[in-house]
Structure 1
Amino acid sequence: MSTIQMPTGRPRPQMPRIGNPLRAIAGKAPLVVGAVLLLLLTPSMFVYINPGNVGIVIHKLGGGVDRHPLGQGLHFRNPLTTGIEEYPVFMQTLVLARGNAEGSASNDEINVNSIEGQPVSLDVSLSFELDASKTPRLYTTFRTDIEHIQHGYVKQSIRQALQEVVGSEPIADMLGPKKAEVVARAQNLIATRLAQYGFMVKQFTINEIRAPAEVMQAINTKNVMQQQALTAQNELQKNMYNAQGDSIRASGRAKAILTEAQAQAQANQLLSQSITPTLVQYEMTKKWNGQMPQVTGGATPLLQLSPPGNR
């Protein structure tokens, strides 16, 4: 005989289900990864452009270079899709010289040829600023930082300008009377070629010019000879001036003596013409004191005075 169990009305107790812990972690993984990425990317989501600089915005997803650079200060950007290249727009000076005392560690001197075909090396310096509005074009053209542009295209532009100018002048003129003209012509050429990329040339200087030793010796010898010739010419002119001065003084003395003699002769002539017997007798009479001369004998001397008009 079967036994029938009646429900008592109380539910049967159930054991708790134990879920899969890996499934729980996997469900939260996107949130964790997102949080980690956010923490990692937050610093790079902001870029600070230093004073005196601009930021070139580079679109990594095929957008090229933004036409408007970022000014100084803090800017937001998407680090996954954009890059920033910072360019200085304050005044800079590029020094190209021999050795590593100035400029870079390498030998940056400029080597060209003079009109005589002689090799000439120059140490130069170029001071310039960048036009901020043209920096995107500058980066688009060269795709590198400003230092590589300076020692690449800018240096080549300086060399080309100097070759055109120095190649048309004798070395002696560049070292002497035409140095300022050479500097001015070279600066104009450099400024014209760099202006299209936003370079504003402020000053160009040739600090030193070097030529072969024998050429420099010949120039020095020529300069010494010219100086000696100039000294001799100055001495000759000085002697000529002294001689002319002596001649003028001698002529003056002679004229003075002649004038004095003529005056004396004329005075003597006038004096001789003015002395007459009557004048002599008159002068003697003015000096007579009225006393008769003392003579021996009984005769009385007579003082004979002729009337005026009788000689």
Structure 2
Amino acid sequence: MHVVEPQVNRPRFPVRTVVWTVLLALALLLVVFNSFATVQYGNVGLYKTFGKLNDNVLAPGIHLKIPFVQTIIQVNVQVTKAETDTSASSKDLQPVSTHVAVNYSVDKESAYKLMNNVGGAFDNVIVNPAIQEIVKEVTARYPAEDLIAKRDVVAAEVRDALTKRLARYDLVVNDINIVNFKFSDAFNQSIEAKQVAQQQALKAENDLKRVQIEAQQKVAQAQADAESLKLKKQEVTPELIQLKQIEVQEQAVEKWDGRLPSVTGGATPFIDLNALGVGAGGAAASSANGADEEGAAADAANDAAARESGTTQP
């Protein structure tokens, strides 16, 4: 009996062929993607072939490389800040702690030399130790008080020395800032006491100047008064004195009621009647009139007393 086998549709392409095709495609894609590298903005690139650096410096952008053979390392050439604390002694042996911030950058053209000789950890290998050493060296030249008063001078010296030191490794110092000087508590107390003493001395000096100025003003005022009195004395003449006397006597005559004071005991004011144009006759008449008036007043008083007693005086 003849058995008929069922007809099976065999694939047109073998499975093995499909697998290899997929693998080749993936490998091709992997090669393509590894043939390009991007250097980021603010960096420069260096080819590294089997661990060896190439001195060709790459600008930011996309670059070709040999897949699986070459890599591109990136070097930051932007300004970078390094901060460090340094403990040292001043010229007068005062302990001082300095906090310094340094802004530096890598020279683009010398990135290969720096990476080849120092490596990527140049901040810890070169920058920080240089800052520590130079700050200690500069602070030892100044007394503690001058470190505070001449901070800008100290910072300039540190910047100059650090610039020369880092230039050996193609590093550029952009700026340096001495953030803080920290001294011992005993030194801070002595500085505070000195400032208080200086303020008191300044106040005393100002008070002395004020007293001297006031004394000078009084002397000047006295001299001015003396000069004024001297000028007034020069203006006084005998004629002026006589005129003033006549004015005073005229005022006295205008106020006099013609009676002499009834109570004595003091000096009677002297009035020069001749100077006022009053003669001796006028004065006598005035005296007689005064006497008549006093007599009439006396007679009237006696008559009134007799009437009251009931008697009539002959």
- Give the TM-score, by structure 1 length: 0.65
Residues 1:112 and 2:88 aligned together: yes
Q: Give the letter for the 2:48 counterpart.
A: I
Q: Which runs of 4+ in 1 moved over 6 A?
A: 31-34, 269-272
2:122 maps to which residue?
149
Deviates more, 1:221-230 or 1:33-42: 33-42
Whether the 8 Å contact between 2:36 and 2:65 is mirrored in structure 1 is: yes
1:83 maps to which residue?
71
DSSP 3-state at the match of 1:116: coil
2:178 maps to which residue?
206
Residues 1:42 and 2:18 aligned together: no
TM alignment of 1:69-218, pairs within 5 A: 69-96=57-84, 109-144=85-120, 148-175=121-148, 177-218=149-190
Q: Which runs of 5+ in 1 are unaligned?
A: 1-24, 97-108, 273-292, 296-311
Whether the 8 Å contact between 2:34 and 2:68 is mirrored in structure 1 is: no
2:54 maps to which residue?
66
1:264 maps to which residue?
235
Q: How many Å separate the matches in 2 of 1:171 and 1:93?
A: 27
Residue 125 (structure 1) shift: 1.1
Residues 1:54 and 2:44 aligned together: yes
Q: How many Å separate the matches in 1 of 2:226 and 2:56?
A: 92
Q: How many Å separate the matches in 2 of 1:213 and 1:271?
A: 82
Whether the 8 Å contact between 1:112 and 1:159 is mirrored in structure 2 is: no
Deviates more, 1:231-240 or 1:181-190: 231-240
DSSP 3-state at the match of 1:169: coil
Q: How many Å separate the matches in 2 of 1:205 and 1:194?
A: 17
Whether the 8 Å contact between 1:55 and 1:87 is mirrored in structure 2 is: yes
1:228 maps to which residue?
200
DSSP 3-state at the match of 2:63: strand
- CA, structure 1 residues 236+271, in 2 after alignment: closer, same or farther (shift >3 Å)? closer
Q: How many Å separate the matches in 1 of 2:143 and 2:211?
A: 36
What's the Cα RMSD here?
2.9
- Give the TM-score, by structure 2 length: 0.64
Total equivalences in the alignment: 228
Q: Select the structure that is richer in helix.
A: 2
